[in-house]
Amino acid sequence: MVQRATTASSGPLNLIISTVEQEPYITRTPDDRYEGFLVELITEISKKAGFTFQFRQPAEKIHGFNTMQSGWTGVIGDVVAGRADIGGAALTVTSEREEVVDFTKPFLSNSVSLLVHKPTWNDLGLGYLVRPISSDYWIFILVVLFLVGIIFFIIGKFSPYEWGNVAAERDPRGAQNSFTLRNSYLFALSTITWQGYREAPHSISGRILAVAWWIFVLLTLIAYTANLTAYLLARPEQLPEMPFTTYEDLVESTTIRAGALNFGSTQNLLRKSRSDTLKSLWTKISAQNSWVNSYDEGVQRVVSSKGTFAMIMETASAEYAARRNCNLMLYGENLFPSSLAFAVRKGSVWKTIFNKAIDDLRENGRLDQLKDKYWRFKGECSNIDGRKYFKTGTHLSSLPIYPLTMKDMAVASIFFFVGVIVSLIFLVVEVIHYAVTKKGKKIERPQVLKHRPKIFRPKNKAAKAGPTDVEQGEAGPSSDGLESVPLDYTEDQGLSADEGEKPEA
């Protein structure tokens, strides 16, 4: 198309403006009239520049995409091919599009974010104390608790340096290591609640495992206490249940689908992004075939999914949808800061004309009035920003509180598993060392006494009993006034159950 100009004889020039229907920018009414933010903006510009206009929609009904076979399509394709004088849609300024068309000064700043379904606001009730930790980390704590008891039992069973005679008041069964299966779990349960313990490990492998376990418990309890404090400060509030918190979580989620506009600038930006997360997000959308043909279709999918579909779209369009549907909200970090502008052919005089008109409208405040009309006042819903997603009365607060996840507690988990590996290595070393130092002597665990000794006998009663009560091989009272099991006690020996009773043969 040859560039046209306004002349006094011919009157106002009629411009062809290529557009795509998209709320709130431009929509077509049942009586075939166009209305919306861009319609009013172009009307204001036409009054200043002295032209008339009419709209046309490209056959593809998209903003514009560069295909290798047929070149540019959509609104950009109409401008490049001369089928339209102006590209008047929600066109994002990109470097690829700037190679084939010129853009005017931006009329709106924009970015890309997520449109999601608002989560359910639940009363925490009896589950309040478990909320500071996510369900996956609670399960992990139970697994670690089960694992540490088993490993303590293995060390107690196989490490020769963990064996020895246990004082009678500690273990009435006699010569035995302290870390039986029952005592191993008693040690783990008492230390995880900071209640102390009665018997500490004697072997190096057991002590290494104990230190790793204590570090894990310390970091976990400190993190739980700190996060619980934040939850208690928000006690009157009801917290929503969000299925993900970051784009990384969205990529890893197997229950939530993500979608974006097909053949749009967002699709191209995701594909060419240097971020591994955003590239993975593009791959996920492609694998799930979740591309949508229009924002209206994407919004409907978000509404009907009840939280299992998240739409990646321009923030301005997402905000408009959230203001009109109170079940929706914006979420996620803003991506790809950009601008929306009109597209004209390369070297067109209309770029200068539109730039001057946009500057005038910005200076006199008319541009801001149009923005408020279509974004702030067209809609009855408030609290649309889900990035401040915690409820205070009837409003969302700016204080986000999230349960502790496996990723948050990765350091504690690493400490524990490194300790487990090192302790098992030292267990092997201890067994080998004992076998070498004993010069091949068979490794035997201490026997459990067949006849249990009498315990907790006061020191003064032991003195009155006389020498008949202390037979050969029987130990005297311990330093604390309690009897202990003799080291040389065997199955052939025994302690009398009462004073004067002889040991069995």
The C-alpha atoms of residue 161 and residue 158 are separated, in whole angstroms, by 9
Predicted confidence (pLDDT) per residue in 357-389, tens digit: 999 999 999 999 998 888 876 667 777 887 765
Residue 403, in any domain of the structure: no
Residue tagged 């604390």 (tokens): 480
| pLDDT reported for residue 385 | 81
The SS3 assignment for 363 reads helix
The count of domains in the chain is 4
Q: Are residues 262 and 386 in the same domain?
A: yes
**Does residue 490 have a pLDDT over 60?**
no
Residue 404, in any domain of the structure: no
Q: Are residues 270 and 386 in the same domain?
A: yes
Predicted confidence (pLDDT) per residue in 236-263, tens digit: 555 566 778 788 989 998 889 999 988 8
Contacts for 460 with CB less than 8 Å, ≥ 6 apart: none
Residue 454 confidence class, pLDDT cut points 50, 70, 90 = low
Neighbours of 298 (CB within 10 A): 26
Of the chain, the percentage scoring pLDDT greater than 90 comes to 39
| pLDDT reported for residue 9 | 38
Residue 400, in any domain of the structure: no
Domain enclosing residue 64, as ranges? 1-107+341-377
The dihedral built from the CA positions of residue 433, 437, 439 and 445, taken in this order, carries a sign that is negative
Beta strand 71-72 with 51-56 is: unpaired
**Does residue 121 have a pLDDT over 80?**
no
266 is in an annotated binding site: yes
| pLDDT reported for residue 221 | 93
265 is in an annotated binding site: yes
The C-alpha atoms of residue 418 and residue 432 are separated, in whole angstroms, by 22
Q: Are residues 130 and 211 in the same domain?
A: yes
**Ramachandran region of residue 265, left (φ > 0), alpha (ψ -120 to 50) or beta?**
alpha
| pLDDT reported for residue 483 | 40
Neighbours of 368 (CB within 10 A): 12
| pLDDT reported for residue 441 | 55
Residue 399, in any domain of the structure: no
Neighbours of 376 (CB within 10 A): 11
Q: Are residues 169 and 254 in the same domain?
A: no
Q: Are residues 187 and 277 in the same domain?
A: no
Residue 464, in any domain of the structure: yes
The SS3 assignment for 155 reads helix
Residue 193 confidence class, pLDDT cut points 50, 70, 90 = confident
| CATH number, domain with residue 18 | 3.40.190.10
| pLDDT reported for residue 220 | 93
Residue 402, in any domain of the structure: no
Q: Are residues 172 and 141 in the same domain?
A: yes
Predicted confidence (pLDDT) per residue in 298-350, tens digit: 999 999 988 889 999 988 889 888 888 888 988 888 888 889 999 999 999 99
DSSP state of 329: E
322 sits in which H/E element = helix 315-324
Q: Are residues 99 and 231 in the same domain?
A: no
Predicted confidence (pLDDT) per residue in 125-143, tens digit: 667 788 888 889 999 999 9
Contacts for 168 with CB less than 8 Å, ≥ 6 apart: 174, 453, 455, 482, 483, 484, 485
Residue 7, in any domain of the structure: yes
**Does residue 428 have a pLDDT over 60?**
yes
| pLDDT reported for residue 411 | 92
**Does residue 459 have a pLDDT over 80?**
no
162 is in an annotated binding site: no
314 is in an annotated binding site: yes
Q: What is the mean pLDDT of residues 3-29?
A: 73
Decide which of 183 and 222 is more confident: 222
Q: Are residues 262 and 385 in the same domain?
A: yes
Q: Are residues 23 and 39 in the same domain?
A: yes
Q: What is the mean pLDDT of residues 55-80?
A: 88
Q: Are residues 280 and 427 in the same domain?
A: no
Residue 453 confidence class, pLDDT cut points 50, 70, 90 = low
The SS3 assignment for 100 reads coil
Q: Are residues 99 and 246 in the same domain?
A: no
Nearest to 235 by CA among 390, 405, 383: 390
Give me the torsion for CA of 127, 131, 136, 139, rounded to 10°: -50
Residue tagged 């597209």 (tokens): 343
Q: Can you give the pTM of this predicted structure?
A: 0.53
Nearest to 323 by CA among 299, 345, 305: 299
Q: What does each C-alpha distance from 28 to 22, 34, 41, 63 come to in angstroms? A: 9, 4, 16, 17
Q: Are residues 385 and 277 in the same domain?
A: yes
Average pLDDT across the chain, whole number? 79
